Chains A and B, each alone.
Chain A
Amino acid sequence: SAVISQKPSRDICQRGTSLTIQCQVDSQVTMMFWYRQQPGQSLTLIATANQGSEATYESGFVIDKFPISRPNLTFSTLTVSNMSPEDSSIYLCSVVDRVGEKLFFGSGTQLSVL
């Protein structure tokens, strides 16, 4: 399976600031997604990161709050903007492995907003 590196692994941020999370894959992948996992909860899809075009957001998530870039087939960023304590979560990038068409997750970014 693809090796998915995510950074930072954790961060503590002040409310009102923004944090950009990076996701790097060791091979070209077609599909890349960003998920959020709130404390003790399940995984919720934020958006599909589309290479060379605007991301596709799920209901309840907007581009102004979670801008996403995907400049190529191996890299994507998710920014959490104007943070509030409610944004404290684990953010996970995930990719579909071209070989098996299965979904694999990065190591996650644990974000705490004070």
Chain B
Amino acid sequence: GENVEQHPSTLSVQEGDSAVIKCTYSDSASNYFPWYKQELGKRPQLIIDIRSNVGEKKDQRIAVTLNKTAKHFSLHITETQPEDSAVYFCAASRARGNKLVFGAGTILRVKS
């Protein structure tokens, strides 16, 4: 089955700097890659997603890139703010609407 690895497990950045979180997946049939943000005590929230026919997608300060050949995808957050501090999870599935396999998560701390 699918296996998703996520790095780093923790990431500390200064406010205003960029943050990058990377994931690799094992199932070459996976073609949908969402990212979730989970604040302490709250449910995971979908922040951005990408399909395999697209190499990059942006939404304001966040972007996701996908390298299907290498089977890895990354989350980029620019101009980080303290409210970006949370746990971020990447995930993969064979199709939108199908079950997701999640990475282990990255704790992002933005220091002001």
Of A45, A102, A107, which one neighbours B99 at CB under 8 angstroms? A45
Q: Are B100 and A42 in contact (CB under 8 A)?
A: no
The interface size of chain B toward A, counting residues with CB under 8 Å, comes to 19
Compute how far the CA of A27 lies from the CA of B82 in the bound complex, rounded to whole angstroms: 35
A104 contacts B46, C-beta separation under 8 Å: yes
What is the interface of chain A mostly: helix, strand, loop, or mixed? Answer: loop
Q: How far is the CA of A13 from the CA of B51 in the complex (A)?
A: 42
Answer yes or no: B44 CB below 8 A from chain A CBs.
Answer: yes
A92-114, CB < 8 A from B:
92, 96, 100-108
Report B-chain residues with C-beta under 8 Å of the C-beta of A42.
89, 102-105
Most chain A CB atoms below 10 A, which of B89, B96, B97, B105: B97
Counting chain A residues whose Cβ lies within 8 A of the other chain, the interface size class is: 20 to 34
Q: Are B43 and A48 in contact (CB under 8 A)?
A: no
Q: Give the CA-CA distance A60 to B42 in the complex, in Å.
A: 26
Would you call A69 an interface residue if the criterion is a C-beta within 8 Å of the partner chain's C-beta atoms? Answer: no
Tell me whether B97 and A48 are in contact (CB under 8 A).
no
* A30 interface residue per 8 A CB criterion: yes
Contact surface of B with A, Cβ cutoff 8 Å:
1, 34, 42-46, 49, 89, 96-105
7 sample A-B contacts, Cβ–Cβ < 8 Å, listed by A number: A42-B103, A43-B44, A43-B89, A44-B102, A101-B96, A104-B46, A108-B43
